[in-house]
Structure 1
């Protein structure tokens, strides 16, 4: 019994010592960085940001699921910028990525819990019928275009039940690209044409009137996971023009540094 207690005591002591050493190292690193010139601090946090992007990308095995590192990094840049600009510390720490450079027959939506560092969902998502057949090639912010809209969005705080069932409104944050999302009723909702059976029958998914429509079976879980002011990034093909203030890396690094 004494041997067991001694073993447990040693284990607890080792754990506490390790935690203390880690905390001391963090404190020392923070103090050291704070004493550096401004330009050096920026360089340090820029390197730390890039390291986090690469490390998290590898940890979540996003490459194996078809998400390019460049798209993930862009989403991460916007995630930090949007959250800082919104000033909502309580906003959902979830980042949703949609890569419309991929065909509709492939899973091209990822929902990532940034706090827990977990992929919550990886599934199919439809694009607007006027954007293209299998791979969307055209995007618009105009009323009646029936096209998808590129860029960053903030999800609504609450859900509602519409003609497609449980749905979630999206606030477009990129002027000229998606800011008419609300007036166009571009929302997250489920649709019967977003499923593997439709792909098998038609070689692609069905298409929406501009909404990023989801598989019916997963809609409720996804909508509940991303509501509450979370960030959504809809990426398009490289040849499609897109620019955004949310892709300012320096501002994102500042936001990232403020959380360290």
Structure 2
């Protein structure tokens, strides 16, 4: 019998741990939700030891479980070595779980993260398979012409701004336009990216998104606000993430806020086993 490879063993171990976590965490959380039991137990322990013992609240326990499970996934994906910080990953996952709770996503279990805190010379787009715990794509992506040179520092939701727009998107259908195969993006963060469809902010391939362009000009070329992709990968990425997956575009803007960054909703979605 052929021995499983190291990669296969790792995948089996990850899947087994996730399965166990999904079964155990909701059960443990449910125990702490049974608050009528907490008072007698606490009273009994205090009587026995003479010291008042306060049990952690159900909400505190849920927060611990939520943080642990996301840290485990972050570690399994090995994206820290690729430059994706946990802070950005946490925001992206929180929004993904909120959108899933609202029924806005398909069942693909894919999350695309673009981090415009990084320069255009670095690979700053990730497509994550959350079910398998794998990075499907990690590549270059361009920002809008008026968002900045090598670094994207300005963002806008306005028509003809030629800037990138921050926030959460849900991918729509593809079409063939002036850039060839392109993917429509529906912005769902009011005031930040909800004009994406009318602005024709889409995923498409571009010759100016390449290592060769970087070598020649010291940065990527820039779009009119679209997250433009390398020509040798854009079709595969469109195939993978189209029709109902989550895209999170992160950037350095202290004014950005989103109703989808509700951690309580994210925790309940994760612990209920819906993800």
TM-score grouping bracket, smaller chain normalisation: 0.7 to 0.9
* TM superposition score normalised by structure 2: 0.81
Q: Which stretches in structure 1 are left out of the alignment for 5+ residues?
A: 1-18
Partner of 1:91: 107
Partner of 2:156: 140
1:20-58: per-residue Cα shift (whole Å, max 9, x none)?
xx97x9767654532333674333332121112111111
Q: Structure 1 residue 165 and structure 2 residue 161: aligned?
A: no
Q: Of 197, 200, 205, which residue of structure 2 is paired with 1:190?
A: 205
Q: Structure 1 residue 228 and structure 2 residue 246: aligned?
A: no
Equivalent position SS for 2:196? coil
Q: CA deviation at 1:225?
A: 0.8
Counterparts of residues 1-260 of structure 1 (less than 5 Å): 30-37=26-33, 40-86=57-103, 88=105, 90-156=106-172, 158-237=173-252, 239-259=253-273
Q: CA deviation at 1:92?
A: 2.3
Which range moved further: 162-171 or 48-57? 48-57
User: Contact (CA 8 Å) 2:25, 2:271: kept in 1 or not?
Assistant: no
Equivalent position SS for 1:56? helix
1:230-250: per-residue Cα shift (whole Å, max 9, x none)?
00000002x542111111111
User: Contact (CA 8 Å) 1:150, 1:178: kept in 2 or not?
Assistant: yes
Q: CA deviation at 1:163?
A: 0.9
User: Contact (CA 8 Å) 1:137, 1:240: kept in 2 or not?
Assistant: no
User: Contact (CA 8 Å) 2:112, 2:248: kept in 1 or not?
Assistant: yes
Q: CA deviation at 1:255?
A: 1.2
* Distance 1:64-1:32 versus aligned 2 partners, 3 A rule: closer
The root-mean-square deviation of aligned C-alpha atoms, in Å, is 2.1
* Distance 1:41-1:130 versus aligned 2 partners, 3 A rule: same
User: Contact (CA 8 Å) 1:91, 1:228: kept in 2 or not?
Assistant: no
* TM superposition score normalised by structure 1: 0.85
User: Contact (CA 8 Å) 2:147, 2:154: kept in 1 or not?
Assistant: yes
User: Contact (CA 8 Å) 2:115, 2:251: kept in 1 or not?
Assistant: yes
Equivalent position SS for 1:155? strand
